[in-house]
Structure 1
Amino acid sequence: MNSSARPRPAAPVRLTRRGRVVVVCAVALVLLAGFWMGARHGARATSGRERGPAVARESVVVGPHDTLWGIAVRARPEVDPRVTVQRIIDLNALSSAVVNPGQKVYIPAR
Protein backbone atom coordinates (compact mmCIF):
# COMPACT_ATOMS: atom_id res chain seq x y z
CA MET A 1 0.00 0.00 0.00
CA ASN A 2 1.08 3.42 -0.90
CA SER A 3 0.70 5.89 1.95
CA SER A 4 1.22 8.91 -0.29
CA ALA A 5 -1.91 8.22 -2.33
CA ARG A 6 -4.07 11.28 -2.63
CA PRO A 7 -7.84 11.05 -2.58
CA ARG A 8 -9.33 11.50 -6.00
CA PRO A 9 -11.35 14.69 -6.56
CA ALA A 10 -15.08 14.15 -6.76
CA ALA A 11 -16.45 13.80 -10.26
CA PRO A 12 -18.53 16.76 -11.47
CA VAL A 13 -22.28 16.39 -11.33
CA ARG A 14 -23.65 15.26 -14.65
CA LEU A 15 -27.31 15.52 -15.50
CA THR A 16 -29.06 13.14 -17.79
CA ARG A 17 -31.45 14.45 -20.41
CA ARG A 18 -34.36 13.74 -18.08
CA GLY A 19 -32.60 15.59 -15.26
CA ARG A 20 -32.07 18.66 -17.45
CA VAL A 21 -35.75 18.62 -18.45
CA VAL A 22 -36.77 18.48 -14.79
CA VAL A 23 -34.47 21.38 -13.87
CA VAL A 24 -35.68 23.53 -16.79
CA CYS A 25 -39.34 22.81 -15.93
CA ALA A 26 -38.78 23.65 -12.26
CA VAL A 27 -37.12 26.96 -13.13
CA ALA A 28 -39.91 27.77 -15.61
CA LEU A 29 -42.57 27.07 -12.98
CA VAL A 30 -40.84 29.31 -10.46
CA LEU A 31 -40.59 32.12 -13.03
CA LEU A 32 -44.23 31.73 -14.08
CA ALA A 33 -45.35 31.83 -10.47
CA GLY A 34 -43.33 35.01 -9.96
CA PHE A 35 -44.79 36.66 -13.07
CA TRP A 36 -48.30 35.61 -12.05
CA MET A 37 -47.90 37.07 -8.58
CA GLY A 38 -46.44 40.26 -10.06
CA ALA A 39 -49.33 40.59 -12.50
CA ARG A 40 -51.87 40.09 -9.72
CA HIS A 41 -50.12 42.73 -7.64
CA GLY A 42 -50.00 45.14 -10.60
CA ALA A 43 -53.67 44.62 -11.41
CA ARG A 44 -54.60 45.26 -7.80
CA ALA A 45 -52.52 48.45 -7.76
CA THR A 46 -54.22 49.90 -10.87
CA SER A 47 -57.84 48.97 -10.23
CA GLY A 48 -60.37 51.78 -10.51
CA ARG A 49 -61.45 51.49 -6.88
CA GLU A 50 -58.15 52.91 -5.66
CA ARG A 51 -58.16 56.06 -7.76
CA GLY A 52 -58.38 59.32 -5.91
CA PRO A 53 -60.91 62.10 -6.45
CA ALA A 54 -58.44 63.93 -8.74
CA VAL A 55 -59.52 61.70 -11.67
CA ALA A 56 -62.68 63.26 -13.08
CA ARG A 57 -64.73 60.75 -15.05
CA GLU A 58 -68.28 60.11 -16.06
CA SER A 59 -70.07 56.82 -16.35
CA VAL A 60 -72.42 55.30 -18.89
CA VAL A 61 -74.81 52.37 -18.45
CA VAL A 62 -74.47 50.00 -21.41
CA GLY A 63 -77.66 49.66 -23.47
CA PRO A 64 -79.01 46.51 -25.15
CA HIS A 65 -77.13 46.99 -28.44
CA ASP A 66 -74.22 49.14 -27.27
CA THR A 67 -70.58 48.39 -28.04
CA LEU A 68 -67.49 50.07 -26.69
CA TRP A 69 -66.89 51.51 -30.14
CA GLY A 70 -70.33 53.14 -30.20
CA ILE A 71 -69.94 54.43 -26.65
CA ALA A 72 -66.51 55.86 -27.54
CA VAL A 73 -67.86 57.63 -30.64
CA ARG A 74 -70.79 59.13 -28.70
CA ALA A 75 -68.71 60.15 -25.69
CA ARG A 76 -65.67 61.58 -27.49
CA PRO A 77 -66.52 62.28 -31.17
CA GLU A 78 -63.43 64.48 -31.57
CA VAL A 79 -61.01 61.67 -30.60
CA ASP A 80 -60.05 58.54 -32.54
CA PRO A 81 -62.44 55.81 -31.29
CA ARG A 82 -59.61 53.27 -31.07
CA VAL A 83 -57.84 55.40 -28.49
CA THR A 84 -61.02 55.99 -26.49
CA VAL A 85 -61.96 52.29 -26.56
CA GLN A 86 -58.52 51.34 -25.22
CA ARG A 87 -58.74 54.00 -22.51
CA ILE A 88 -62.19 52.70 -21.49
CA ILE A 89 -60.82 49.14 -21.31
CA ASP A 90 -57.87 50.31 -19.19
CA LEU A 91 -59.96 52.54 -16.91
CA ASN A 92 -62.50 49.80 -16.20
CA ALA A 93 -59.93 46.97 -16.04
CA LEU A 94 -61.86 45.01 -18.67
CA SER A 95 -60.32 41.79 -19.97
CA SER A 96 -61.78 42.39 -23.46
CA ALA A 97 -63.93 44.85 -25.40
CA VAL A 98 -67.12 42.90 -24.59
CA VAL A 99 -69.66 44.70 -22.42
CA ASN A 100 -73.07 43.56 -21.21
CA PRO A 101 -76.36 45.49 -21.11
CA GLY A 102 -76.83 47.18 -17.76
CA GLN A 103 -73.09 47.27 -17.04
CA LYS A 104 -71.74 50.58 -15.73
CA VAL A 105 -68.71 51.73 -17.73
CA TYR A 106 -66.53 54.70 -16.83
CA ILE A 107 -65.55 57.10 -19.60
CA PRO A 108 -62.10 58.76 -19.43
CA ALA A 109 -61.94 62.47 -18.70
CA ARG A 110 -61.61 64.84 -21.64
Structure 2
Amino acid sequence: MSTLSLAPAFVPTTVRRSTVRLTRRGRLVVFLTSLFVVMTAAFVLAGGAVGTGEAGQPEPTEIVQVAPGDTLWRIASEIATDGDVRGVMNDIERLNALESTGLAAGQKLRVPVLTD
Protein backbone atom coordinates (compact mmCIF):
# COMPACT_ATOMS: atom_id res chain seq x y z
CA MET A 1 0.00 0.00 0.00
CA SER A 2 1.25 3.49 -0.83
CA THR A 3 1.08 6.57 1.31
CA LEU A 4 0.45 10.09 0.24
CA SER A 5 1.83 13.03 2.14
CA LEU A 6 0.59 16.58 1.51
CA ALA A 7 2.59 19.67 2.23
CA PRO A 8 0.65 22.88 2.88
CA ALA A 9 0.73 25.21 -0.17
CA PHE A 10 0.18 28.37 1.85
CA VAL A 11 2.25 29.06 4.88
CA PRO A 12 0.93 32.03 6.86
CA THR A 13 3.56 34.53 7.87
CA THR A 14 3.32 36.97 10.68
CA VAL A 15 2.71 40.58 9.69
CA ARG A 16 5.38 42.87 10.97
CA ARG A 17 4.37 46.36 11.82
CA SER A 18 6.78 49.21 11.40
CA THR A 19 8.54 50.12 14.56
CA VAL A 20 8.73 53.79 13.50
CA ARG A 21 6.07 55.89 15.16
CA LEU A 22 5.77 59.63 15.13
CA THR A 23 5.47 61.40 18.41
CA ARG A 24 3.45 64.56 18.81
CA ARG A 25 6.60 66.61 18.19
CA GLY A 26 7.42 64.54 15.09
CA ARG A 27 3.94 65.08 13.62
CA LEU A 28 4.33 68.81 14.27
CA VAL A 29 7.71 68.85 12.50
CA VAL A 30 6.28 66.97 9.49
CA PHE A 31 3.29 69.35 9.33
CA LEU A 32 5.40 72.50 9.58
CA THR A 33 7.89 71.21 6.99
CA SER A 34 5.06 70.43 4.58
CA LEU A 35 3.52 73.85 5.19
CA PHE A 36 6.87 75.52 4.56
CA VAL A 37 7.31 73.64 1.26
CA VAL A 38 3.82 74.59 0.08
CA MET A 39 4.23 78.25 1.06
CA THR A 40 7.65 78.44 -0.62
CA ALA A 41 6.24 76.97 -3.82
CA ALA A 42 3.32 79.44 -3.75
CA PHE A 43 5.68 82.37 -3.17
CA VAL A 44 7.98 81.33 -6.02
CA LEU A 45 5.10 80.75 -8.44
CA ALA A 46 3.35 84.00 -7.50
CA GLY A 47 6.53 86.00 -8.14
CA GLY A 48 6.05 85.62 -11.89
CA ALA A 49 2.60 87.26 -11.79
CA VAL A 50 3.93 90.80 -12.01
CA GLY A 51 2.60 92.55 -15.12
CA THR A 52 5.00 95.43 -15.59
CA GLY A 53 7.30 97.57 -13.54
CA GLU A 54 5.68 100.82 -14.71
CA ALA A 55 2.46 102.39 -13.51
CA GLY A 56 -0.38 102.55 -16.00
CA GLN A 57 -2.07 105.73 -17.20
CA PRO A 58 -5.61 106.28 -15.92
CA GLU A 59 -8.32 106.51 -18.54
CA PRO A 60 -9.74 110.04 -18.85
CA THR A 61 -13.33 110.07 -17.59
CA GLU A 62 -16.09 112.45 -16.57
CA ILE A 63 -19.12 112.07 -14.31
CA VAL A 64 -22.62 112.03 -15.78
CA GLN A 65 -25.80 112.02 -13.68
CA VAL A 66 -28.58 109.78 -14.99
CA ALA A 67 -31.83 111.65 -15.72
CA PRO A 68 -35.27 110.00 -15.48
CA GLY A 69 -35.86 107.84 -18.56
CA ASP A 70 -32.18 107.66 -19.52
CA THR A 71 -30.82 104.36 -20.75
CA LEU A 72 -27.27 103.18 -21.02
CA TRP A 73 -27.68 103.00 -24.80
CA ARG A 74 -28.73 106.67 -25.01
CA ILE A 75 -25.86 107.86 -22.82
CA ALA A 76 -23.38 105.77 -24.81
CA SER A 77 -24.78 106.99 -28.14
CA GLU A 78 -24.27 110.62 -27.08
CA ILE A 79 -20.62 109.90 -26.23
CA ALA A 80 -19.76 107.61 -29.15
CA THR A 81 -18.54 109.91 -31.91
CA ASP A 82 -17.32 107.07 -34.11
CA GLY A 83 -20.64 105.16 -34.02
CA ASP A 84 -19.37 102.30 -31.79
CA VAL A 85 -22.18 102.51 -29.23
CA ARG A 86 -21.75 98.93 -27.95
CA GLY A 87 -18.05 99.51 -27.32
CA VAL A 88 -18.80 102.65 -25.31
CA MET A 89 -21.51 100.78 -23.39
CA ASN A 90 -18.98 98.09 -22.49
CA ASP A 91 -16.53 100.78 -21.36
CA ILE A 92 -19.19 102.41 -19.13
CA GLU A 93 -20.14 99.04 -17.65
CA ARG A 94 -16.47 98.25 -16.95
CA LEU A 95 -15.69 101.68 -15.44
CA ASN A 96 -18.68 101.54 -13.09
CA ALA A 97 -18.66 97.77 -12.38
CA LEU A 98 -22.28 97.52 -13.52
CA GLU A 99 -23.87 94.08 -13.33
CA SER A 100 -26.75 95.04 -15.61
CA THR A 101 -27.70 97.81 -18.01
CA GLY A 102 -30.51 99.05 -15.75
CA LEU A 103 -29.97 102.57 -14.44
CA ALA A 104 -31.66 104.58 -11.69
CA ALA A 105 -32.51 108.27 -11.94
CA GLY A 106 -29.93 110.34 -10.08
CA GLN A 107 -27.24 107.66 -10.39
CA LYS A 108 -23.79 109.04 -11.19
CA LEU A 109 -21.83 107.24 -13.88
CA ARG A 110 -18.21 107.55 -14.83
CA VAL A 111 -18.05 107.73 -18.63
CA PRO A 112 -14.99 107.77 -20.90
CA VAL A 113 -13.94 110.99 -22.53
CA LEU A 114 -13.31 110.09 -26.16
CA THR A 115 -10.72 112.27 -27.84
CA ASP A 116 -10.27 112.23 -31.59
Q: TM-score, normalised by structure 1?
A: 0.51
Give the ranges of 4+ consecutive aligned residues of structure 1 lying more than 3 Å apart after TM superposition: none
The gaps in structure 1 that reach 5 residues or longer are 9-51
Q: Following TM superposition, by how much is the alpha carbon of 1:109 offset from its aligned partner in structure 2, in angstroms?
A: 3.2
Give me the whole-angstrom Cα distance separating, in 2, the residues matched to 1:81 and 1:7. 81
Query: Which residue of structure 2 aligns with residue 4 of structure 1?
Result: 11
Identity of aligned residues (%): 35
- For these two proteins, the number of residue pairs brought into alignment is 66
Counterpart of 1:64 in 2: which secondary structure? Answer: coil
Q: Following TM superposition, by how much is the alpha carbon of 1:67 offset from its aligned partner in structure 2, in angstroms?
A: 0.2
CA offsets per residue over residues 27-81 of structure 1, 9 Å max, x none? xxxxxxxxxxxxxxxxxxxxxxxxx873310111000010000000111232311
Equivalent residue runs for 1:1-110 within 5 Å = 4-6=11-13, 54-110=58-114
Counterpart of 1:99 in 2: which secondary structure? Answer: coil
CA RMSD of aligned residues (A): 2.7
Q: TM-score, normalised by structure 2?
A: 0.49
Structure with the bigger percentage of helix: 1
- State the structure with more CA Rg: 2
Code of the aligned partner of 2:73 = W
